[in-house]
Chain A
Amino acid sequence: MSKTLRIIIVDDSKTILAQLGALCSHIDDVEIVGTAVDGAEAVKLVTALKPHLVLMDIVMPNMDGLSALRIISSAAPESRVAMISSVGSLNSRSEESFRLGAFQVIGKPIDPEQIEELIINELESLRQREGV
Chain B
Amino acid sequence: MARKFFGQFLIELGEVQPEHVREAVTLMDDTNPVLGEFAVSANVLSERDANRINREQRRTDRKFGDLAVGMGLLTTDQVRDLVREQKAQRLSIGQALCQLGHLDTGRLDDLLKKFSLDQAGQVANRYLQLPEEIDDSQLVDCILDLFPKLTQRIARIQLFTQSCEKWSGQELQSQIATVSVRGDENWDITLSCDQDFAAQIHAGFMGGFSNQKTEEDPEEISSTLLDDCIGEFLNILAGSAMDELEKQAITVCLEPPVFGNTPVEGYHFAIQASRGAASLILSPA
Contact = CB atoms under 8 A, between A and B. Distances in A.
Interface of A: 12-16, 18-19, 22-23, 25-26, 59-61, 85-88, 90-92, 107-113
Interface stretch (B22-30, B79-87, B111-119, B208-216): B208-216
A86 B205 contact: no
A110 B59 CA distance: 9
A22 B162 CA distance: 37
B211 A91 contact: no
A82 B229 CA distance: 22
27 contacts: A12-B256, A13-B235, A16-B232, A19-B206, A22-B206, A22-B211, A23-B209, A26-B211, A60-B256, A61-B256, A86-B232, A86-B236, A86-B254, A87-B240, A87-B243, A87-B254, A88-B239, A88-B240, A90-B243, A91-B246, A92-B246, A108-B232, A109-B204, A110-B208, A111-B55, A111-B59, A112-B209
Contacts of B148: none
Given A26-B211, A86-B236, A15 B256 contact: no
Contacts of B238: 86
A18 B206 CA distance: 8
Given A16-B232, A60-B256, A109-B153, A26 B210 contact: yes
B173 to A, nearest CB: 18
A111 B239 contact: no
Interface string B37-51: 000000000000000
B209 A14 contact: no
B188 interface: no
A15 B229 contact: yes
B209 A113 contact: no
Contacts of B240: 86-88
Among B58, B224, B239, residue most surrounded by chain A Cβ atoms (within 10 Å): B239
B140 to A, nearest CB: 18
A111 B205 CA distance: 10
A19 B246 contact: no
A109 B154 contact: yes
A12 B236 CA distance: 13
Contact of B58 (A12, A60, A87, A111): A111
Rank and list the top 4 A-B pairs by shortest CB-CB distance, nearest first.
Answer: A86-B239, A87-B239, A112-B208, A88-B243
Contacts of B275: none
A18 B203 CA distance: 12
Contacts of A110: 205, 208
